[in-house]
Structure 1
């Protein structure tokens, strides 16, 4: 796992996923030994590379190993040779080349290294059906080697919200991929409406982008209405969700979107860009309706238009809230995620040993 998986200053869906499956796999019949490797993954320095190589070399032949893709996919020169004697599965949270803001040459290099790694290992685990299809198509992987273990959700008490309309909540690290600049612009376009917005998420991953967001907030004179509060966890994060009337998410890329199901687990409807795995996370309620509003990512007018609908159509709000509550009742827990992963690992364990 990446070395920052338990860093409270860097919470992420991927880190939460890793921690929850490590906690859940023993209940699914697996003995888990965690190995964290600190480094600037997926582009580590020499010390991190040497530590990963040492950790893998210390494992006995035939050991079943679950590797986080952020660590494994950028270093095929380390992982591929070990794949001949170990039984590795690589868990891909986000394809490396899909990170927003990468220089083309860097994205291309990461993409090529990821392809080499994933083609060499016997099993790949994706966190959504969309992500699995993307990996198969993009990297030319055999579909039978790519498995899905979607994130779970902990059902929580229904959010009380505020007045049922005005409190917006964004939960995402402040990075170009999460697109908070689009959120600021959308909110500026509806500044005549009585909204307030709290943005929860790490502020240290991209300081230049955070500075850009703060400048945009100041330019649009939204400082008393839109607040970047940094990362929150535990009771603090629960309180943020409990006070929310609507979750807003303006991402450019999401293999799933765990914050979507975290909101729905509290009966909070969602307004999000319809990228990648987000529609899968939003899902449908038992009545067949979508518990949120999904808008095109490439239409700057779509998000503010949806906000105006949220504020201006009481019937729509009632329907979305009812659908969110129905969807809440159908969400799978993390036990299902662990069982899905356990099935993949068991399949690896029973496969005949490969020879070089």
Structure 2
């Protein structure tokens, strides 16, 4: 890459569109806003493309963004799919920092060949970077195991929120993209044997039209009955706040989850959660809990619906358990770090 005139000192490069709301996009937006609120001059550059599978035009747009500043933080889904552009920018004297949300080969449903291709590119990009950041210890440990690359962890913040009021009967919330990785079907399957109990479930999040998995989820919701199960699509703004306000328990059975910001969103409202064991969501569930303290929920295997059924049955049947989890979640609210704290940590690591 040839040297060009620099238009800004610091640039944050993010994907322009990932097909709907995502935790990574929410993290980027909140972090940029927190940096600016702290008087850090940072320019956001949104690069088009079907990342992590860019076209040549997408790669050229990235090269322009990389050449526009002396220091650039690049979202990992972009940077790790463009190792040559990252190497060129570094060689031209740009300080390149890569922010990894989910290591590319860790995405669920990839073929072995796809995962290998993504891994080769990701390794090369990370090795060319001046600094590698991750949004969770889970992601950091994955990168270390795959590539023997060290990374610093900058966990998400969370916005303060009023406690949820809940619903009667108890309302369960599945909030996230309707994809195989998020695994909503397991939670719905776990609820099927519990029809004799009083509960409701809401599935909220973006879905790709005509995707077979979306049809399976919709069929599972229909089988549970319109009186107790609904799919409401993407929720933002006031709709999202209403969904949170009426929830009593979050269900996040992801097969792969680097952190799960939705979990700390729940805790910020005093809502406990069931999450998948072995994922970064366990880290999020413990975010506001002292060492040795009671977790505001439970971690369960993402491939064992019977375990989820048993846990849900206990929660529905045992008022003391519901109260204990709710108390633990309420206690965690005061210990969750906000976005200003997260932005301060990022500034320190970037020396901004």
Matched, 1:179 2:183: yes
* CA drift at 1:29: 4.7
Partner in structure 2 of residue 135 of structure 1: 143
1:238-290 superposed Cα distances (whole Å, 9 cap, x missing partner): 11000001111111111111000000000011112123211111115358110
Question: Aligned to 1:34, what secondary structure does the other structure show?
Answer: strand
* CA drift at 1:46: 2.2
Which aligned pairs between 1:161-240 and structure 2 lie closer than 5 A? 161-163=166-168, 166-204=170-208, 207-218=211-222, 220-240=223-243
Q: Is this contact kept in 2: 1:260–1:270, CA < 8 A?
A: yes
Taking the aligned partners of 1:134 and 1:333, their CA distance within structure 2 comes to 25
Matched, 1:116 2:124: yes
Structure 2 CA distance for partners of 1:136 and 1:113, relative to 1, 3 Å:
same
* CA drift at 1:73: 0.5
Partner in structure 2 of residue 65 of structure 1: 72
Matched, 1:319 2:324: yes
Taking the aligned partners of 2:229 and 2:16, their CA distance within structure 1 comes to 32
Question: Aligned to 1:48, what secondary structure does the other structure show?
Answer: helix
Unaligned runs of 5+ in 1: 350-356
Taking the aligned partners of 1:253 and 1:35, their CA distance within structure 2 comes to 28
* CA drift at 1:234: 1.2
How many residue pairs were aligned?
336
Structure 2 CA distance for partners of 1:45 and 1:208, relative to 1, 3 Å:
farther
Partner in structure 2 of residue 248 of structure 1: 251
Partner in structure 2 of residue 159 of structure 1: 164
Unaligned runs of 5+ in 2: 1-13
Partner in structure 1 of residue 15 of structure 2: 2
Q: Is this contact kept in 2: 1:66–1:88, CA < 8 A?
A: yes
Pick one of 327, 341, 344 that aligns with 2:349. Answer: 344
1:61-105 superposed Cα distances (whole Å, 9 cap, x missing partner): xx1110000111011121112122210111111011111112221
Structure 2 CA distance for partners of 1:128 and 1:221, relative to 1, 3 Å:
closer
Structure 2 CA distance for partners of 1:310 and 1:213, relative to 1, 3 Å:
same
* CA drift at 1:178: 0.2
Taking the aligned partners of 1:262 and 1:205, their CA distance within structure 2 comes to 27
Partner in structure 2 of residue 102 of structure 1: 110
Q: Is this contact kept in 2: 1:251–1:275, CA < 8 A?
A: no
Matched, 1:274 2:277: yes
* CA drift at 1:221: 4.4
Structure 2 CA distance for partners of 1:77 and 1:101, relative to 1, 3 Å:
same
Taking the aligned partners of 2:241 and 2:326, their CA distance within structure 1 comes to 18
Taking the aligned partners of 2:301 and 2:213, their CA distance within structure 1 comes to 23
TM-score scaled by length of structure 2: 0.91
The one of the two structures with greater contact order (alpha-carbon pairs below 8 A, sep at least 6) is 1
* CA drift at 1:184: 1.7
Taking the aligned partners of 2:39 and 2:346, their CA distance within structure 1 comes to 11
Q: Is this contact kept in 1: 2:221–2:231, CA < 8 A?
A: no
* CA drift at 1:206: 7.5
Taking the aligned partners of 2:23 and 2:210, their CA distance within structure 1 comes to 17
The structure in which a higher percent of residues are strand is: 2
Matched, 1:290 2:290: no
Taking the aligned partners of 1:341 and 1:118, their CA distance within structure 2 comes to 18
Q: Is this contact kept in 2: 1:175–1:206, CA < 8 A?
A: no
Question: Aligned to 1:341, what secondary structure does the other structure show?
Answer: helix
